[in-house]
Amino acid sequence: MTIDDTKKIRLVMYLRTAGISDTRVLSAMERVPRDVFVPPTFRDQAWEDTALPIGLGQTISQPLVVATMTQALKIGEKDKILEIGTGCGYQAAILARLCRRVYTIERHKPLLDVALRHLDDLKIRNVTAICADGMKGWPDQAPFDRIIVTAAAREKPPQALIDQLDIGGILVIPVGENGAQVLRLYKKESRDTFAIRDLMPVRFVPLLPDVAKPGDYAEKDLVDLAG
C-alpha cells in the first residue's frame, strides 16, 4: 500500500465520521484521484481535507464540502446535472460517476482547458463542458434534474438557474457575502415554490457574470496554471 493509498483511506474514514453516509458518494470520492486535479506544487496535500489553489485565483474545494454538496443532491443514475464552475474538473469527475451526464460551465477558458485534459486522461466521457457565463445557465440543455454551483451568489441563485431546474429537482449553491456564506439547498416543488434548507457554513469565491478575458490574467497566473 502506497502513502497515497493510506491517505485516501484516512480521508474516506474521516468523511464517514463527518456525516457522509451515501455509499455511492463515498465510493466516488475514493475512486476519483484528487491528486490528478491538484497542481504539482500541492500534490502532497491532495488527500487532505483542505481547499487548495488551482490557479487564476480559484481553488479546488475541500473534500468534505465536495462530498456534502454531492450527497445533498441525491443523484440518481439517470439524472442530468448542470455544474456552474468547472474549476479543475474534480467535482465534475465525482458527479460523472453518479449520473447519466454532466453539463459544466467555466468562465475561465485556461482553467477549463486544464480540466478537460484531466477528464480526458481519466477517460471520463459523460461530461460536456463550455466556456460561458454560468449565471445564464445552459438553456439549450434545460431542464436539469440537479444543479450544483461552486461559487457564491450574493443573496439567492440566479433566476436563470431556477428556471432551468426541473420540478422535483434540487439545486445546491453557496449564498452570502465573503465571511458569512452558507451552503443552501433548494428543492423545486412547483414552478413557483421551493423548499429551502441550510446545510453548512462555507467559503467560496464569488459567482461572477460574463466570461473572463485574456487581459484579466497576469503572465504568472498562466505559468502557475500550467504546473
What is the pLDDT confidence band of residue 57, given thresholds at 50, 70 and 90? confident
Strand pairing class (52-55; 58-60): antiparallel
Average pLDDT, the chain: 93
In the predicted structure, residue 3 carries a pLDDT above the cut 90 = no
Instruction: Answer for the pair 94, 71: CB distance below 8 angstroms, yes or no.
Output: no
User: Does residue 219 have a pLDDT over 80?
Assistant: no
Do residues 60 and 51 touch, judged by C-beta distance below 8 A?
A: yes
> d(Cα 92, Cα 87) in Å, to the nearest integer?
9
> How far, in Å, CA of 112 to CA of 117, rounded?
9
Give the Cα separation of 63 and 51 in Å (integer): 8
User: What confidence tens digit (pLDDT) does each residue in 163-176 have?
Assistant: 999 999 999 999 99
Over 70: is that where the pLDDT of 159 sits? yes
Helix runs in 122-218, H state only: 159-164
pLDDT at 96: 98
Q: What is the mean pLDDT of residues 171-189?
A: 95
Residue 17 vs residues 58, 69, 187, 199, 218: alpha-carbon distances, Å = 28, 16, 26, 16, 41
For residues 38 and 189, give the distance between their C-alpha atoms in angstroms, rounded to a whole number. 38
Does residue 21 have an active-site annotation? no
Backbone φ and ψ for 106, nearest 5 degrees, come out as: -130, 135
User: At 223, is the pLDDT very low, low, confident or very high (cuts 50, 70, 90)?
Assistant: very low
CATH number (3.40.50.1980, 1.10.760.10, 3.40.470.10, 3.40.50.150) of 3-226 reads 3.40.50.150
Q: Could you say which of 21, 27, 61, 190 is catalytic? A: 61
159, 216 Cβ separation under 8 angstroms = no
**Is-contact 84 150, C-beta < 8 A?**
yes
Segment holding 188, helix H or strand E: strand 181-188
User: Sign of the CA dihedral 178, 180, 186, 191?
Assistant: negative
